[in-house]
Chains A and B, each alone.
Chain A
Amino acid sequence: MSHAAMSSELFNKTIVELAELLAAKTITSVELTQAVIDRTQSVEERVKAFNSFDAAAALAQAAASDARRAAGQSLGALDGIPIGIKDVIAVTGQPLTASSKMLANFVSPYDATVTQKLKKAGAIIWGRLNLDEFAMGSSTENSAFHTTRNPYNLDCVPGGSSGGSAAALAAGEAIATLGSDTGGSIRQPAALCNVVGLKPTYGLVSRFGLIAFASSLDQIGPFNRTVEDAAITLQAIAGYDENDSTSVKVEIPDYRAALKTKKGPWRIGISKEYFGEGLDPEVAAAVEKAVSFYEKMGCVIKNVSLPHTEYGVGVYYIIATAECSSNLSRYDGIRYGHRSADAKDIVDLYYKSRAEGFGPEVKRRIILGTYVLSSGYYDAYYLRAQKVRTLIRQDFLNAYNEVDAIITPTTPTPAFKRGAKADPLAMYLCDVYTIGVNLAGLPGISVPCGFSSSGLPIGMQLIGQPFKEADLLAIANAYDSAHDWAKRTPNL
């Protein structure tokens, strides 16, 4: 093992470290970007985190960043930092595939709002990261192109759906990445790949330019090596966007400054509903150790009740599939995307293009969602699910009368072997601890908190109050800055 040696490599450093090196002109962005490109070219064959990358475009951006800095016009901590983008977020002139055959040849003519914001912050828009097709899955095994590997054990999955985003960062193929989280798609792979993953409050980050899976649940968020890096990245992408009617006009505080000003002690909640059957004992032990840490630093640990937790997965698979069945209707082979070569009329064109273009999990969810919205079933499924969703949110809001944040395991188990969860239901249960956060629209962050006996990463989840990311990040940072799990880089 050569962890210490690898940590000294540029591609394994944090944004904070690299920003200092860049500012001191010890390194250039071109050198950093080249180091990331070289690293990617050396490990990507094993990790398979990317769908595509454009080294020339990245180096051109890096040169522009260096020119800015030379002219004394640096745009801040992210200026010159290569950030990988999940392949559901639009970047002008780059492929936008959602890891689906349906969009295999689609190139985006426009930028997502987050892409625009990262460009304005000077970040280098780096490669297109693999995912479960249309962000539907928890292992990236549903990618139509290839399965991404867990850098800590190449036989294991990196989690999903943002598996490429988590694996690329863990493997040193990017300095930070963006993912999207509908039911745990940032936090779960972050936990499985030993990185920090933040799902912001619904409405904090614009969804414009994010390929929709379930509109009322989707949220873009960052993957980082430390909570402090997460604060910096969130700062760049958060904020109201007039192109997204569901984005919210709220004051955006200085998240990084809040890490220092907000010192606790906090009231931290534990819910028995998150420590029940199916939880791996090693995961439970690691999270309990983190709880002890908070207790030792003077936090009050309180039991809170989230009684509707058990309905989360059921409610999620009604609401998410209903929305996806409608959101994915636009992929019809008419204007863009896969079009069947041998359709004989318009109905046949729809059937064949969609049958050929979508993979089995996407089809399963479209069919389920179409069913729950059908005339005669709407009230029993969709409407009732929305009501239970309100109860789940109310559970959390009640708990926040007593605590500042809630701590849970991010996932029931560490990373599992590829092909181990062939049963869709078993796969759906990977998100049992993360789904409630999306249903309630809350911010949630996964922070590395240990390793299993077999050397696989373990993550804990902290769930915060709506739009109080500053507090959530401060609480997470208290633990993260006192531990160095993330420094334990994979041996690739």
Chain B
Amino acid sequence: MKYEAVIGLEVHVQIKTQSKMFTRVGAGYGQPANTLTDPVVLALPGVLPVMNKAALDAIIKAGLLLGCDIAPVCKWDRKNYFYPDSPKNYQISQYDQPICLNGAVEIELPGSARNIQGEHKSIALTRIHLEEDVGKLNHEAFDSLVDYNRAGTPLMEIVSEPVIKSAEEAYACLTSLRATIIYGGISDCDMEKGQLRCDANISIRPVGETKLGTKVELKNLNSISFVRDGIAHEIKRQIAVVESGGTIVQETRDYDGMTGTSQSLRSKEMAHDYRYFPDPDLMPVKVDVAWKARIQAECPELPFAKQTRFQSDYGLPYTLTSVLVWDKALADYFEEAAKLAGPGKAQAVGNWIVNDLQRELGAAKLDLGDSKVRPAHIAELVNLIAAGTLLSNAAKEVFIDMAATGETPSAIVAKKGLAVAPTDTAELEGWCRDAIAANAKSVAEFKAGKESAINGLKGPIMKASKGKANPKLVDETLRRLLSIS
């Protein structure tokens, strides 16, 4: 029997704000334990929450970027459960009226080849709601320590409909979602820092069946490739269970990306009754049309729209756009360089960025912003080549120097004497005549009709010119001299 998978994602994203969700103390990562706390974070007797408006702005932006309906009112509920990482033993969250409803993540499935655009698909979202993050437990040998630095950090929970069909689709969905959120400046989505965390609900059913199978929740998918691998593993596991005559148990499983295995954390019987009710400490906040319009005005162009535009406006091939548009900084860098370089140079600019610059950044482990190569450098480099002043091989050398020193291409060309020979042909003609005189055999072969024999003459000329001779001029001059000799 053939099976198909049905997958829904639950993605938690920390919102990048100065302060926490319901108090003024700073939000951040990597600080000494329990230094990002105050009476509100620690839930001391008598404290009250006050909503961080910047966090609400950010989630509205996420909702608008993902095409969600924005609720007219932001309402707060309490989710009650006891756990030491939750200082109040309830989490302020949104239950029956999430701030964002519906919406979708646009994804691109892998194409038939690397240079061919894949099929686009829309993954429907159920909701996005705002809540507060919990602290962190550090388990020692005989006791557990709690660090409340993370507690109270604004957190949005994005829930997809169960419409994802494969691990690849889930991977594409998360990639696109992450790019959208980073584009919006909503979060850095660094999974290593826990800024983005993903759980997946996975079930299988025979192809053709319309009823959903029993779902298993997979947790701790703490890198994007673990999401893909974990889901693929879970689908295989479920098929194996069913095919060997077993039944799927509704449970939560923990995926270990290092070993590629999963184990059961808890079964459905242990599910909580969270006793949700409206938080009486927080008034509902009205989100009016003007508010939404203000946020809408801050919404950037998203990767897929940018890709289409880069293809049509700059004539870039798919392979270049598929690298450039997923990193907003890189895409912005490209546009700046392309504009500075002028019309008709965009593809050359794109090639330098995608190939040489990316490689340089990778080798030096640099962020784009830290590179000494600026968009103006790339534009100038491309123009020197186009003008025939600089040859490709020499240009590579210029680039490496530029990355190390941050000097302009023309300064490096001058410093290293890399400019091609002047178009004044006297010197060039001299080199050509010397080559013809010294290579009788090649001359004879060429005159006998062996076209490639002319290359035998070019080598010595380039050597004599120390690589500065313009190959096009060399070729023309040689042919002219050979035809009259």
Contact = CB atoms under 8 A, between A and B. Distances in A.
A207 interface: yes
Given A215-B280, A375-B275, A245 B49 contact: yes
A266 interface: no
Interface in B264-301: 273, 275-277, 280-283
B47 interface: yes
A293 interface: no
A329 B283 CA distance: 21
Contacts of B42: 335-336
B45 A103 contact: yes
Interface residues of A, number: 44
A242 interface: yes
A466 B51 CA distance: 25
Given A106-B45, A329-B89, A329-B90, A216 B280 contact: yes
B39 interface: yes
A332 B84 CA distance: 9
A185 to B, nearest CB: 16
B84 A329 contact: no
Interface string A346-358: 1000100000000
Interface stretch (A33-41, A88-96, A153-161, A419-427): A88-96
B46 interface: yes
Interface in B143-160: 144, 146
A246 B42 CA distance: 21
A109 B44 contact: yes
A279 interface: no
Contacts of A336: 42, 44
A350 B86 CA distance: 13
A305 interface: no
Contacts of A207: 48
Interface residues of B, number: 29
A212 interface: yes
B305 to A, nearest CB: 38
Contact of B88 (A214, A323, A329): A329
Given A329-B82, A346-B84, A335 B48 contact: no
A373 B277 contact: yes
A245 B46 contact: no
Given A216-B280, A374-B275, A242 B50 contact: yes
A245 B273 contact: no
A316 interface: no
A209 interface: yes
B178 interface: no
A96 B45 contact: yes
A34 B2 CA distance: 89
B277 A326 contact: yes
A323 B77 CA distance: 12
A266 to B, nearest CB: 32
B45 A323 contact: no
B48 A208 contact: yes
B281 A246 contact: yes
B328 interface: no
B80 interface: yes
Most buried by B among A90, A112, A208, A326: A326
Given A216-B280, A246-B281, A374-B275, A89 B46 contact: yes
A88 B46 contact: yes
Nearest to A207: B48
A398 interface: no
Given A211-B46, A335-B43, A336-B44, A373 B89 contact: no
Contacts of B281: 212, 215, 245-246
A370 interface: yes
Contacts of B280: 214-216, 246, 323
Contacts of B90: 326, 329
Contact of B45 (A90, A214, A245, A370): A90
Interface of B: 39, 42-51, 78, 80, 82, 84, 87-90, 144, 146, 273, 275-277, 280-283
Given A215-B280, A373-B80, 11 more contacts: A90-B45, A96-B46, A112-B46, A212-B281, A243-B48, A244-B50, A245-B282, A326-B80, A329-B89, A346-B84, A350-B82
